[in-house]
Amino acid sequence: MFYCQRCGRQIADDELRCHFCGIVQEREGTSIETKPCKKCKEAIPVNANYCPYCGLDQATLFYDEMSFDDSKDDQKEIRDERENEDDSLEDPLQTLESFEINDPSDVEKFLQKIEEERDKIREANAKKYHIAKNESKKPGLIVSTKLMLKDWLTVDKRMGTGDFWWGYLGMYLLTIIVSVIMGAVLAGIYMYYPKMVGTAFDVMFTVWMIFFFITTITAFIRRFHDSELPMFMIVFRFIPVAGELFCLFFAMRPQMISNGRYTFESKSKRKKRTK
């Protein structure tokens, strides 16, 4: 098994042209200028991006090359990563080319097969971009509500279905608790400053409703990101009642991963982690 010297994907030993990128492979024995691979030290074409033998990206910087000379575990890890990448990029239609449709019942089977292949692609992409189903390991009423409150001003990340629905329920339960607290506070104000009750109620009610609205708005946006829906759909949330029902309907869509644009980390955290 060889690796394409241009794109690094696995190709057959006798394959002279990569079936992924179409680049002609320069094999050993031809009159070409070579260089040693940074990992396995095999002679490879001087213009090769990847080693045809171990699959190492030649742009990799080694601070201590001697410690990597005989590292078989590293070579195996590189091969495993290449194989996983190949799986995530596999065209699902390749597995359906031999599917025969002879009667109407076969059409339903064919559509089911397509959906199964799509699920495989989603799972492969999730592994490729390191994206789980939810940010919380075990979504629940308390943990998911805390997550929603913590990210009440965050929009540049994802939010899984489990965390969203538990957190959304938690926000409404918090509204009940806040209402009880507001009632107790207003009762105390009434005892000493009766004329201030109306003003105090307006202030507390307005502050909580603004906080509640912003928190749920940003949660919807993160949920849309997780299902790869356009962010502008959040404008429907500003329509009373019907708009919220509309957004809740689309919030039920499953997670979709065709790229790694959004994860369960905000962009600022990702930048700090990669520095």
- In this structure, the answer to whether residues 194 and 233 fall within a common structural domain is yes
pLDDT of residue 147: 96
Domain assignment present for residue 244? The answer is: yes
- In this structure, the answer to whether residues 77 and 101 fall within a common structural domain is no
Q: What is the pTM of this model?
A: 0.59
pLDDT of residue 71: 47
What average pLDDT score do residues 202-212 get? 97
pLDDT of residue 102: 66
Domain assignment present for residue 136? The answer is: no
Rounded-to-10 torsion of CA 228, 230, 236, 241: 0
- In this structure, the answer to whether residues 154 and 240 fall within a common structural domain is yes
- In this structure, the answer to whether residues 42 and 162 fall within a common structural domain is no
SS (H, E, C) 162-223: HHHHHHHHHHHHHHHHHHHHHHHHHHHHHHHCHHHHHHHHHHHHHHHHHHHHHHHHHHHHHH
- In this structure, the answer to whether residues 119 and 150 fall within a common structural domain is no
- In this structure, the answer to whether residues 242 and 151 fall within a common structural domain is yes
Domain assignment present for residue 262? The answer is: yes
pLDDT in tens, 78-134: 555 555 544 444 455 555 555 566 667 777 777 777 777 777 777 788 888 888 999
Domain range for 56: 2-88
- In this structure, the answer to whether residues 171 and 263 fall within a common structural domain is yes
Per-residue pLDDT at 31 exceeds 80:
no
Domain assignment present for residue 54? The answer is: yes
Label residue 173 by pLDDT band (50, 70, 90): very high
- In this structure, the answer to whether residues 154 and 83 fall within a common structural domain is no
- In this structure, the answer to whether residues 64 and 81 fall within a common structural domain is yes
- In this structure, the answer to whether residues 154 and 120 fall within a common structural domain is no
Q: Hey, is 3 helix, strand or coil?
A: strand
How far apart are the C-alpha atoms of 218 and 223, rounded to whole Å? 9
Phi, psi of 37 (to 5 degrees): -65, 140
Residue with the larger pLDDT of the pair 60 and 51: 51
Domain assignment present for residue 135? The answer is: no
For 73, which DSSP code?
A: H
- In this structure, the answer to whether residues 267 and 148 fall within a common structural domain is yes
Domain assignment present for residue 133? The answer is: no
Select from 24, 58, 88 the last residue of a domain.
Answer: 88
- In this structure, the answer to whether residues 163 and 189 fall within a common structural domain is yes
Domain assignment present for residue 124? The answer is: yes
- Using DSSP bridges, classify how beta strands 43-45 and 10-11 pair: parallel, antiparallel or unpaired: unpaired
Q: How many domains does the chain have?
A: 3
